[in-house]
Structure 1
Amino acid sequence: MSALRRRLWVPVVLSYAAFILVGVSAGVAGVLLPAQIDDYGLDKATIGTTFFTFSAGFMLAGSNAGPLIHRFGVRTTLVVGCGAYVLAGLVTAARPPFLALVAVQLIVGYGTGLIESVLNVYLADLPGATTLLNRLHAFFGVGALLGPLLATWMLGHLPWTAVWLVLALAGLPLIVGFRLALPAREVHAVPEGSEARETSRHTASGRGLLGATSREPAVLLGAAFLAVYVGLEISVGNWGFSFLVDGRGQGDLLAGYTVSAYWLGLTLGRFLISPIAVRLGMTDIGMTFACLAGVTAGAMLAWSLPGPVAAVVSFVLLGFFLGPIFPTTMAVAPRLTAARLVPTAIGLLNGVSVVGGAVFPWLAGTIAEGIGPWTLPPFAAALALLQLVLWWQVARRMTTPSTNPRSIRTEDQGAI
């Protein structure tokens, strides 16, 4: 193992652990929703307001992650993100009044958004970045797989607030780990010439970086694409349990395991599809189109075929083909904008994407409340078709790897 790999091994492992925790948080959300609805005496549309405050916090984190990294460095920004997550988790575990629960989701979203955005930026700068990013998001799937199992088991013995207490305590070692494992500042080489002067000027002003990035059409289309993606992923993850129990008559335990199978498919897709696509000679663009077709097929299968076996198969297929879409988009982010704007672009992509994670799950819950829980699969199919249109537009504006200096990766050096 080279000296570089030895130095980066601990931070990379901590990054994977942080994404496992983020995945667990996403995985428990859908299982906790019925318990929260009963506890607070609310309907699905009202409890869905927590999606919006979480989204606002996450988007805020994504929009200022790049400037924070430039000003304070990766280590400090990560410690702030983990600290916000732990604090909000402890408040949630105290079972606050509903309005306070809605408000604290802003802090949960901000902490989660900083963790995700900063780690995407950090790993995108390392050798073997594409492999590292796919593994990073695969470990999110590991956490999301474990989350429903953890929540289902704990709800059989404890109130829903105990789940959040466990999540908050699990975040404490990450604060210590990142504080010890990362240097105080990451040193980045500044290019020579006029672009160096422009980079320094923008680095001094976070608004300059964000403003320049938000005017890039390819970045905006990529953000819209990921907003629909996250909306679809979280809609199925959050409301899949209710769909299976209320729409298909499954028991709570079987429904919880089926949702876990969905997250298992997501994890396997991120570990397996990209290597298979490389062997087949597929490009990132072609692989994503194929995955979107698979997502549409999985949603149609869940809609058209009754029975528990069909539900498990369709949920696994949905997760499997959804899996590579987000990390692949992050991996090609250097092909969407200029090299100096890539860290801010990654934060913006990550931050805006969660808007879909609020709007579309809320819409799915509202439709289910008014029409019936059976509407989840056709809703997912509609979002998959919208993704196809948006990805086509993104692909048209994507540069080739050789035209963007930041996209020239030293993949032969291997991943950590």
Structure 2
Amino acid sequence: MATWFLIVIYLAFISLGLPDSLLGAAWPVMRPDLGAPLESAGMLAMIVAAGTIVSSLASGKLITKLGTGPLTLISCLMTAAALLGFSFAPSLLWFALLAIPLGLGAGAVDAALNHYVATHYKAHHMSWLHCFWGLGATGGPLLMSYFIKEHDSWRSGYTAVAMIQFGLVIVLLVTLPLWKKIAARRAENPTTEVAIGAANHDSATVPESLADEQPAKQPLRLPGVKMSLLAFLFYCGVETTVGLWGASFLVGARDVSAVTAAGWISLYYGGITIGRLITGFITLKVGNRALILAGQIISVIGAILLMLPLPDVVVLVGFVLIGLGFAPVYPGLIHETPARFGRANSAKLIGYQMAVAYTGTTFIPPLFGVLASQAGIGLFPIVTLLLVVFMLLSSEQVNRAIKRTKMTG
């Protein structure tokens, strides 16, 4: 039963990744059909992001009221309906309206499943969960490119992804009683599958005052919480900035061809996805916090390589190292949340983390775009390095705050 349940969770995260990169892949052919200006894709992306922020902030209360299973089912139904609507939408206005339920559904299921796995499963499952998101994010553009090439229809691409989402909705509906059975089993014997400290040699340092089951009245005031939110802001900001502007840097500052640049950026995403697969195995022997630090150091090295006046192959290595370094950071930070701040606070705090993460994704890349338009795309390696360093410092401040609390507690 537990194995099948995990498969359902993994499938849900593949479906979460599928729509994330569809708009960018389809926009060159969508825009003429809709008669929309080029920059309106950014507007649609921001509406989706705003929805994810709102639902992420509300996810703690929604999980408590509805439960993870029903919330995941409702959220996937919303995203499936929105994607199906995209395939029929006659104008940009309809796309803007449908982007609202797409964002609300994506944010809710993201926060709900991250909280569930962080609370009930070991660290390697969190890494693999986000690896499956990468599979979905990679598969979405491949599906869209197939339908554009073979059927000359971006609408069919959206229809296909919507049907996959509706298939998941059916799976979630059929397995809905399973969520209740698993929850009841853990309630009867909560020590059997609880993840806190189970796969993290360094999680045992969590002070008892943070690990108890009484939720804090103001969880944002717990030691280290605010710095952890900053770590999420900088991580998602730099991850998206590298993905969005990396090819432009290669073409504009390194004279790499557009085709080669696109391939190199795909290797960056491949580094993140494959790195999370590998990280899942490493967590069986190494703690989350050590992996997070190691990943951040590797990404710093990768960013430095982008700055050096060395052959292009070194720049390629830099992008791959940044991707590999990013691999353990996001899932590791999420999985540490119950251990650091208590299981009773984790649902609400992970919702806050998702909201701040989406804020970084929404605003940092456009801000860099404005900077690059004024000062040149050559600033890309410097900004990337600064964001990675800020992420590292924020993350380490969380560890120091937890350590100080243990010493004084």
Q: Same fold (TM over 0.5)?
A: yes
TM-score under structure 2 length normalisation: 0.80
Name the residue aligned to 2:10.
Answer: 16
TM-score under structure 1 length normalisation: 0.79
Q: 1:116 to 1:20 in 2, by over 3 A?
A: same
Shifted more, 311-320 versus 264-273: the winner is: 311-320
The structural deviation recorded for 1:29 is 4.8
1:42 to 6, 29, 37: 37
The structural deviation recorded for 1:264 is 1.2
Q: 1:51 to 1:389 in 2, by over 3 A?
A: farther
Q: Which runs of 5+ in 1 are unaligned?
A: 1-6, 192-197, 203-208, 404-416
The structural deviation recorded for 1:30 is 4.3
Q: Does 1:216 align with 2:210?
A: no
Name the residue aligned to 1:135.
Answer: 128
Q: Matches of residues 142-291 of structure 1 in structure 2 within 5 Å?
A: 142-157=135-150, 158-183=152-177, 185=180, 186-187=183-184, 189=187, 212-244=218-250, 253-273=259-279, 275-276=281-282, 283-291=287-295
Name the residue aligned to 2:340.
Answer: 336
Give deviations 1:126-183, integer Å, cap 9, x for gaps: 3x42121111011112223334444455544535444433322211111111111132
Secondary structure at the counterpart of residue 402 of structure 2: coil
Name the residue aligned to 2:71.
Answer: 77
Distance (whole Å) between structure 2 residues aligned to residue 366 and residue 289 of structure 1: 31
Q: 1:80 to 1:10 in 2, by over 3 A?
A: same
The structural deviation recorded for 1:314 is 2.7
Name the residue aligned to 1:113.
Answer: 107
Distance (whole Å) between structure 2 residues aligned to residue 153 and residue 378 of structure 1: 37
Distance (whole Å) between structure 1 residues aligned to residue 310 and residue 28 of structure 2: 23
Distance (whole Å) between structure 2 residues aligned to residue 115 and residue 348 of structure 1: 14
Contact 2:31–2:37 (CA under 8 A) maintained in structure 1: yes
Distance (whole Å) between structure 1 residues aligned to residue 145 and residue 250 of structure 2: 15
Contact 2:76–2:168 (CA under 8 A) maintained in structure 1: yes
The structural deviation recorded for 1:290 is 2.3
Q: CA RMSD in A?
A: 3.3
Secondary structure at the counterpart of residue 42 of structure 1: coil
Secondary structure at the counterpart of residue 321 of structure 1: helix
The count of aligned residue pairs is 378
Contact 2:124–2:280 (CA under 8 A) maintained in structure 1: no
Name the residue aligned to 1:194.
Answer: none
1:348 to 352, 356, 362: 352
Name the residue aligned to 2:297.
Answer: 293
Name the residue aligned to 1:367.
Answer: 371
Q: 1:277 to 1:168 in 2, by over 3 A?
A: closer
The structural deviation recorded for 1:327 is 0.7
Q: Matches of residues 19-34 of structure 1 in structure 2 within 5 Å?
A: 19-32=13-26
Secondary structure at the counterpart of residue 341 of structure 2: coil
Q: 1:83 to 1:36 in 2, by over 3 A?
A: same
For 2:384, the aligned partner's letter is A
Q: 1:106 to 1:381 in 2, by over 3 A?
A: farther
For 1:227, the aligned partner's letter is L
Shifted more, 152-161 versus 327-336: the winner is: 152-161
Q: Which runs of 5+ in 2 are unaligned?
A: 191-212
For 1:379, the aligned partner's letter is V
The structural deviation recorded for 1:287 is 2.6
Contact 1:24–1:147 (CA under 8 A) maintained in structure 2: yes
Q: 1:25 to 1:365 in 2, by over 3 A?
A: farther
1:122 to 116, 139, 146: 116
Name the residue aligned to 1:414.
Answer: none
Taking every aligned residue pair, what percent have the same amino acid on both sides?
25
